[in-house]
Amino acid sequence: MVTALPFFVIFAVSWWSVAISPWLAVGLSLINAAFVIRLFVIQHDCGHGAFFESRFWNGWCGRLLGVLTLTPFDMWKQNHALHHATTGNLDHRGTGDIPTLTIAEYRARSLAARA
């Protein structure tokens, strides 16, 4: 409630304020972006099964938040698990990895590509 309630209130006020001033609506939307990030953090914790004790509630909370964050929860959860399973494994680089090169790969690149 600490995150969802302010999100919905600011969203409603922003929607209402479009008729008064589009700039006011944009400003409120930028403020509301912080709450969207917080909602995604909660969704992330649900994906790890860490927000509720129950797997059932983590799943449904994550799916509901996925609608608000525009991130399909079940697909994201699968890709995120793959990311955790392969992070740091140069033989299985994949989804969500920070580009990491071996020394040989780095040296094989052009000077422009190294930057």
pLDDT band, residue 101 (cuts 50/70/90): confident
Give the separation between CA 73 and CA 66, rounded to whole angstroms: 5
pLDDT in tens, 43-52: 999 999 999 9
pLDDT score at 95 = 67
CB 42 within 8 A of CB 65: yes
pLDDT score at 86 = 80
The pTM of the full predicted model, rounded to 2 decimals, is 0.79
Give the separation between CA 59 and CA 48, rounded to whole angstroms: 10
Structure token digits, residue 91: 């033989």
CB atoms within 10 A of CB 15: 12
pLDDT in tens, 81-100: 988 888 777 787 766 677 78
pLDDT score at 1 = 80
